[in-house]
Amino acid sequence: MAAPADLSELRINRDVPTPPARAALKRNLVLFSAALASIVAAVVVIRARAVPTVQVLTVSAGTGSNGSSTGTTSVTANGYVVARTNVVMVGPAA
């Protein structure tokens, strides 16, 4: 009878990924990072252009009834300017 074969050499080592698997992982990480950076850049650009800022500054110079000077008032608002009334022209302009 023959001696039993050493079966330990037939074991598959799953601890270390194969070179093609490592290359695919690196490629996928680079693609994911590039896609994420593109999305972040697009969001930043869209948010920067989305809402214009309107700044209104009212300054009142003068004295009050008791002789004290009035202070300055500053208001900052975000939004759009919308007309209350629409004008429709009929006929040629003069």
| Percent composition of the chain: helix, strand, coil (DSSP 3-state, to 5) | 40, 15, 45
Q: Of all helices (H) and strands (E), which one includes residue 74?
A: strand 73-78
- Of the two residues 80 and 38, the one the predictor is more confident about is 38
Phi first, then psi: give them for residue 83, nearest 5 degrees. Answer: -70, 145
Predicted model pTM = 0.41
Label residue 65 by pLDDT band (50, 70, 90). Answer: low
